[in-house]
Homo-oligomer: A and B are copies of this chain.
Amino acid sequence: MFTQECHSAGKRASLFVCVSQHAFTESFSEHSAYAGCMSTPAANARKLQKERTREALMNAALELSLDRGFAQVSLRQVSQAVGVVPSAFYRHFESMDDLGLALVERCFGTLRTMIRDAQRDPHVFENIIDAAATILVASVKASRADFAFVVRERVAGPEPVRAAIKHELDLFESELAMTLVRLPNIENWNSDDVHMLARLFVRNMQANAELAANMPEDRPDLEAQIHDLARREMMLIVLGFKDWRSN
């Protein structure tokens, strides 16, 4: 009994070193953006390591839900993918729902950053529709797992996750409405119509993001096709602006 305990302890330790390295690599290679710029400086190595494992769990869950959908992914699968024992999961999240909510927050964080960066670029406003289509395709390409997660779990996720995504999308829609209301032909539409318009745009961006996120990788032709499709859709909708009479 005693020898067995010694043996298992030794095995445990060496295994831990192994899985820690695994966690590192995964975290940095796949989502270096997050790992590098956390809000806390995380002075001591202990907290830093914990943060890394947490990120690794989130990345593993994101990747696993790509083919199965988040609700199909189990706590044990996520833990195993990271190289950690199931009970260790609870050091980071209360439940899988909790992890899901963290993922929603992170995804919309990157989304918002992208949009803010785009708005800062003055070049964008020269041809707003073309720019929007370009940004859409490029953004999805850069974080396809995030976009795929949002469009999928918006309808398929556990109820708390669905609610969180709905809330974020509503916010996004309201922000867009505030931008739209300053466009030439729209400035004196009533607020109901502006919201309807914002909805129309958000909805079609969602649909095109879904298309782009589920597109096979490294297919510049399909990419261009989706870009063009999105552009033409927005053009058609915009054409109706000047003749719009609320009723």
Is the pair A236, B71 in contact by a Cβ cutoff of 8 Å? no
Interface SS, A side = helix
Q: Tell me whether A50 is interfacial, beta carbon within 8 Å.
A: no
B240–A236 CB distance below 8 A: yes
Binds B, one of A40-48, A117-125, A203-211: A203-211
Size of the A side of the interface (Cβ < 8 Å), in residues, is 27
Contact surface of A with B, Cβ cutoff 8 Å: 69, 71-72, 151-152, 155-156, 193, 196-197, 199-200, 203-204, 207, 210, 229, 232-233, 235-240, 243-244
Interface contacts beyond A155-B210, A237-B237: sample of 15 additional A-B pairs, CB < 8 Å, sorted by A: A69-B71, A69-B156, A71-B71, A71-B72, A152-B155, A155-B156, A196-B229, A196-B236, A197-B236, A200-B204, A200-B236, A235-B240, A236-B237, A238-B240, A239-B239
